Structures are given as structure tokens and as C-alpha cells.
Structure 1
């Protein structure tokens, strides 16, 4: 069921609807997604991902910071959660890993940006739950097809706008 939620990263204070979470490969290709009411905390969705798939390492943004969640995922699902650390946290990653982590997070953010701008994933006008899931699946399928075509044509994988003009 849709709910009111807050988005601290965008100009929207409060919105009505759902929030999406995705798991991507190291190349930025989405492999799993979950839809939750807008008032759901990002950290509540992670156990569902762990139950559905085998993801040994999950990189997350600052919204996933929780030592309890890290321990729970490691003990229960054997999943290592590595969220982006805040600058004032005492436990920090080594500098080489921080560079790799930020590079991978940039790829994920690029994927989210492309899904939002080119596939309009934030504006799905569905009337039923199944309609929403179908439209999400179609958009992810189109994204995957674009990446596949880029791979076949020897282009950069995430250059999806170029596929249309090729």
C-alpha cells in the first residue's frame, strides 16, 4: 500500500507513493529490485534481498549505516554489508578501498540516474500492484536490453542514449 514518505536527497520534502531499491552488478546492471511503501526505511528492505538472492557483498549509501544490520546480515545470510561511511565515524575503510567503493557507488548512482531520466522509473502510473510490477520489470528489461546491445556493438555498456541513435 502506498504511503507518505520523506526524501532527504531530493527537493521533495514529502511525497505519496513507493520507494524502490535495486541491486546491481559491479558494472551497474540491475539484477534485483524491491518496491516498498514510501515510509519504509531503506534498511528494512535488505533482508528481503538476502532471502531472494545470493549477494555475498552489498555496497550501500549512507542510508544503510547500521552496525546491528551489518552483524545481522553477516550472521543470518552470510552477506557483508559495506555502507558508505560518514566522515565523523570512528570506523573508516582504508583509502584504497574508499576509492574503489566510491567508484562502484558512482556506477550505481549512474544506473539510478539513467533509470530515472531515460526510463522515467519515478513516474509509473499504474493502478494495480501487478501493473506497477509489470511496468518496473519492463523498464528494467529495456535497460538490460540496451546494455546487451552496447556489449554486442562494442560500446560502453552504460551509454544507453547512444543505442537509440546507432
Structure 2
């Protein structure tokens, strides 16, 4: 029995304990591999940095999972289970919701191809949300694709995320945040400077938005070193997603496929945090530790 199967069984057991109440659409023909088992396999693959389905099915060759599902069926069912996967992520992240009321917001680029290929690329070209040219201030580079907006707490657990074309300003994501959070401190970078939205967030949901001021702003005040240290937590989390979960490597051809892949990676990240904290009683963000 290889490590993938061992990790799969650990993850599946906890998904059954925490998420078995979540329902999916009833199927006329009951599949050999249930929806929850498929999600467990998907989460396990992301945790083990298996970014290719071809590679995944090489791993499960000659195991008990080989005869339960085919590769093409796995891909199709995984995309159809997008909302089921997202609901599982919400249930897992909700387990950490009582631990803090301090959150961090940030964004990261999702490049779908190099700029030199952008005008002739067919990736996501027929989608309602089409890729666009954008600029990443942190990396000081232009790119073609989408932008991932995310909110995590000060412990590094993601509680909300969304996608937008690369040319959409980060401030626009704050309009969605006020519907999902309340009575909390929200820390961001200079990309979220907006006095109008700051007041709106406070009046609507009692969200205190705190961002560093530009040096040329009237009545400039230095940003708290404590808040600066807290804000780095989301940068570390995104780096972990990029390193172990291969966040910035895109193999999808449609926006639906891209959104499913990113959701799978964030769900897997949250699942490992859940196992670390609640099951193994160890450091929350030691993601590279073996489960089995």
C-alpha cells in the first residue's frame, strides 16, 4: 500500500466525520467511487503535489482505486463537484472561525500563458469571465490571466476567495467582503486604500479596515509593526500554495477547470491545517509533514 492510499484513507475518514452531512445531486446510477471519496482523492493528490491527472492515475495503478473510476470520468465529475468541494472547504474553515477576529486580505496573479502567446491563446477564450492583461506590483511585472483574491485569518486559514480578470482593481473585492464578514479587523496592503470603502465596511458590517498609508498622504501615520507582521501571514500562505500545491502552474483550458483546480488546492490546504490542529495536535501550518 503506497503513501497516496494511506494519506487518502486518513483524509477520507475525517471528511466522513466532518462533511458527510453535505448533500450532492442524486445520481440515477450510483458510481463505484462516491462523491466524497472522489473529493478525498482530489485533496490527497493536491497535498502530495500531484498536479497531473495522468500522474495521479499512475499512482493508483494496481490499487483498490484503479477499478473504481476512469481518468476521463474523474476529470468530468471533479468539475461538476465544484460547489460541493467549496462547501466542504467552508465547513472545514468554519472550525477555526471562533479563534480570531483578525483577518488579512490580499491578491495574487494567476497567469494562464506568457504575454507573448496571449493574443493567439485559446485558453478560456470562450468564457464569460475572460483573461485580461494585468500588472502585479509585488513582482513588478505584467501578466495575462486572472487574479485570485483571498481572505485568511491571522493563523493562515483561508475563509473566502474569489476570481477576477487581471485588470480588475483589488478594491472591488472589498465590496464582497462586507457580505461575508462582520465585527472584525481586516488588514491589507496599499492596494486597498479607499476612504469611501473603509467607511462603508465599518458602517455596514463593523469591519475595521487597516492599510498602510502612502507617504504623500495628508496626516501620514506609520503602519503598526504588529499589523505588518500579521499581514505577512497571508503572503506565507500563498507561498505555500504556490510551492507545495503548485498554485501558479496552470494546466486548465477553461475557466471552470481553472476555478476547480484552485478550489481543490485551497481545500486541500485547509484540510491539512484541520488535520494538523484537531487530529495530530501539532503546528497548524507545517504543511509538508507526512500524514501517515
1:118 and 2:244 are equivalent in the alignment: yes
Match of 1:140 in 2: 266
Unaligned 5+ runs, structure 2: 1-129
Q: Is the 8 A contact 1:150 1:163 kept in 2?
A: no
1:92 is matched with which residue: 218, 221, 224?
221
Q: Distance in 1 between matches of 2:205 and 2:220?
A: 23
2:156 is matched with which residue: 3, 23, 28?
28
Q: Over aligned residue pairs, what C-alpha RMSD do you find?
A: 2.0
TM-score after normalising by structure 1: 0.85
Between 1 and 2, higher relative CO (CA 8 Å, sep ≥ 6) is seen in 2
SS at match of 1:84: coil
Match of 1:16 in 2: 144
2:136 is matched with which residue: 1, 4, 7?
7
- Counterparts of 1:13-162 in structure 2, within 5 Å, are 13-51=141-179, 53-55=180-182, 56-87=184-215, 89=217, 90-92=219-221, 98-151=224-277, 152-162=279-289
Q: Distance in 2 between matches of 1:2 and 1:120?
A: 20
Q: Distance in 1 between matches of 2:211 and 2:155?
A: 18
List structure 1 runs of 4+ shifted beyond 4 angstroms: none
Deviation string 1:49-103 (CA, Å, 9 cap, x unpaired) is 222x12432111121112222122223343221113345542426x7xx132122
Q: Distance in 1 between matches of 2:209 and 2:250?
A: 30
Larger Cα Rg: Structure 1 or Structure 2?
Answer: 2
Q: Is the 8 A contact 1:146 1:163 kept in 2?
A: no
How many matched pairs?
160
TM-score after normalising by structure 2: 0.50
Q: CA deviation at 1:105?
A: 0.6
SS at match of 1:160: coil
